[in-house]
Chain A
Amino acid sequence: MDILLLQQIMIAALKTGTPLLLIALGELVCEKTGVLNLGQEGMMLMGAMAGFAGALYTGNLFLGVTLAILAGMAMSLLFGALSLNLNTNQVATGLALTIFGTGLSSFLGGDLVGSTIDGFKPIAIPLLSDIPFIGPLLFKQDLLVYLSFVLVAASWWVMHKTRVGLTVRAVGENPYSANALGIKVIRVRFLATLFGGAMAGLAGSYMSLAYTPMWMENMTAGRGWIALALVVFASWRIAYLALGAYLFGFASILHLVMQGLGVDISPNLLAMTPYIATIVVMVAISSNALAQKLSTPMSLAKPFDPKVH
């Protein structure tokens, strides 16, 4: 394989992995506080729809992204109100959020189907983008990809080097002890849930404004669910998360690579690869039950109610 093709594949894997990375980063922080939000797919679809609508009607991509983030946050607000304030089952509430978001986004986005916009374009960073091989890969991307680099670094720093990160982890590991220390458990969980919503919205806007600048029903094609598996794959560690997202990005474009290489398999069969890869990876991870138990936040998906405890 020549080096240029390899570079092309890596660029495509990076682009495909970026929305996964963004949404999984939000979910990781959320799960670190003990909140399991299965509504990722719904929030991401709402973000994609709102982002596209915003960019189409205002003509401004950044307003589109802002709207997408707000849409994602509004969705997560709904999840928080139910699962954190009313202590509803987090799994069921997350499923409801996905069903609701899928329905609402295709309902509101009905008129947007078929419209086109100019999406985010790659911006080459002077000098750095001239580095052979790595330059075009890392420094000739669109703004949202750069933003994802910054967000990963910032989240890592906050989670591991600041008091905020410590609070987040304490709440996720043992909310009752955290409560006894005077930490407002519900407030921390709510803020993390909102952060998760914002990231899901942002990931959605990457889909509809940069990856494929258009809107169609269910355009995220299960990426919200794959992101949930990705968090488990990464053992709730941000550094592994980035690696995993790009690997999944690669698995998602494998069918394009195969077609490019002239392999004659039905595109519908090749389109299964990311989902099969997800199952394979989950099996590989979960077969070490002890290690997984150790890395899972102890209070994950468990409601917090000091009155009942």
Chain B
Amino acid sequence: MLSVQPRIESSKKMAWFSPIIAIVLTMLVSSLMFLALGVSPTKAFEVFILQPVSDTYNIGELMVKAGPLLLCATGLALCYRANIWNIGAEGQLLVGAVASSAVAIQATQNSGFGVLLLALAAGIVAGMLWAAIPTFLYRLFHTNIILSTIMLNYIGLYTLLWAVHGPLADPDGFGFPESIIFADSVLLPLLSDNGRATISIVVAVGLALLSGLALYKTLPGFKLRVYGEDQAAARYAGFNSGKIVWGVMLFAGALAGFAGASEVIGPIGQLIPSVSPGYGYAAIIVAYLGRLNPIGIILSSLFMGSLYMGSDLAQIELGLPTAITGLFQGILLFFLLACDYLIFYQIKVVPRETEKRRQETLLQMKRDANDMNEVTSEDTKAQQGAL
């Protein structure tokens, strides 16, 4: 007999197994979907999982996709650890890209390293400012962060469209929504000659590891985790909630802004309307899949990166629409949430005999309790009679 029981303590082991089960289940469901679409699942597996790591060029492309995901997800993970539902990475990334481009179009072939740093700084500051708006409104008016960050994502998208159609458009571009192609001097250094991956991926991994260190080994990290688990406890301990909220939000904004900047002055090399194929939203899934733990997030951003890359390849090789990425992301997150059930509940196989005995014991306890009640009520009656 199967029995579902809440766990007394949440399972650490299941917390790490659940993403793996979710990925396997997503693969199974996707295989069925591929069969229905007339594509052999083994071929699809090859395109989505093996091809992204098949040679150095492809590995570089995988890093190009994983980099912005890792940056955004690291910031989001800290927010979610503090129980702050920041959905705004997408908008922060987009305004970061716009601000960085505004600097980058000024650069000439002979510009020094300073302009490159300025372009990066512009992106980071823009991302932070974009994150500061919902934080300010939340701290001052308790405005719901989920909705304000979502709205700012849309406003950020229209800021990008406005910039790319207007002030930042290529003056000789025949009205095409594109900026000029940036001068080489303002582009981030490449990791290797074969590919488009830049040093931003190294910075991203470094930042993820550092934030992991900060989260688990420093006092501010401890305060953040306490605040996320139990706000009342954090208040009682005298932790400054303002510092925690502002800290994680600005950090997340800076990282997302950096991601946007390193896209336009990196692999893309100009400002275009499709700077981000939804990296900011996918980063939410990456953060959860990596268990809000920087090490886990490095792995999950690689996985999500291969999903993005696979869908690009699948469009070319298998004729599948790229919309399939969003579909996989949704399915994956559903399975992950469902598997997380196993962290808090356990499914036990209980022998019929044991279950019967348990029920008998429960029944006996109930009877005893009833008898006690009867005794006490007789006592009270006796007392009342005496009075």
Q: Which residues of A contact B (CB under 8 A)?
A: 38, 42, 78, 82, 86-89, 91-93, 95-97, 99-104, 106-107, 110, 217, 221-222, 225-226, 228-229, 232, 266, 268-269, 271-272, 275-276, 278-279, 282-283, 286-287, 289, 292, 305, 307-308
Contact = CB atoms under 8 A, between A and B. Distances in A.
A91 B146 contact: yes
Given A107-B321, A268-B161, A278-B147, A95 B284 contact: yes
The interface residues of chain A, by DSSP majority, are classed as helix
Contacts of A289: 141-142
Contact of A286 (B144, B151, B161): B144
A222 B154 CA distance: 8
Nearest to B288: A92
Contacts of A95: 87, 284, 333
Contacts of A226: 151
A257 B152 CA distance: 23
Contacts of B328: 103
A107 B326 contact: yes
Contacts of A89: 337
Interface string B257-293: 0000000000000000000000001001100100000
B150 A225 contact: yes
A208 to B, nearest CB: 17
Contacts of A222: 150-151, 154
Contacts of B333: 92, 95-96, 99-100
21 contacts: A88-B337, A92-B337, A95-B87, A99-B284, A100-B329, A100-B331, A100-B334, A106-B323, A106-B326, A107-B324, A107-B327, A226-B151, A228-B147, A229-B151, A268-B162, A268-B165, A272-B159, A279-B148, A279-B151, A282-B137, A283-B141
A93 B158 contact: no
B375 interface: no
Contacts of B325: 103
Nearest to A268: B162
A269 B330 contact: no
A266 B142 contact: no
B175 interface: no
Nearest to A91: B85
Interface of B: 6, 85, 87, 137, 141-144, 146-148, 150-152, 154-155, 158-159, 161-162, 165-166, 281, 284-285, 288, 321, 323-331, 333-334, 337-338, 340-341, 344
A104 B330 contact: yes
B337 A232 contact: no
Contacts of A217: 323
B69 to A, nearest CB: 14
Given A87-B344, A110-B323, A275-B151, 18 more contacts: A92-B288, A99-B329, A100-B326, A102-B326, A103-B325, A103-B329, A103-B330, A106-B323, A107-B323, A107-B327, A228-B147, A229-B147, A232-B144, A268-B162, A275-B155, A276-B155, A279-B137, A287-B142
B87 A86 contact: no
Contacts of A283: 137, 141, 143
A102 B85 CA distance: 20
Residue from A82, A95, A101, A292 with most neighbouring chain B CB atoms (10 Å): A95
A101 B150 CA distance: 17
A272 B154 contact: yes
Contacts of A272: 154-155, 158-159
A281 B330 CA distance: 31
Given A92-B288, A110-B321, A286 B141 contact: yes
A99 B150 CA distance: 13
B162 A99 contact: no
A269 B162 contact: yes
A40 to B, nearest CB: 11
A86 B154 CA distance: 32
B158 A308 contact: no
A289 B144 CA distance: 11
A30 to B, nearest CB: 16
Contacts of A269: 158, 162
B168 to A, nearest CB: 12
B326 A86 contact: no
| Most A C-beta atoms less than 10 A away, residue of B87, B326, B341 | B326
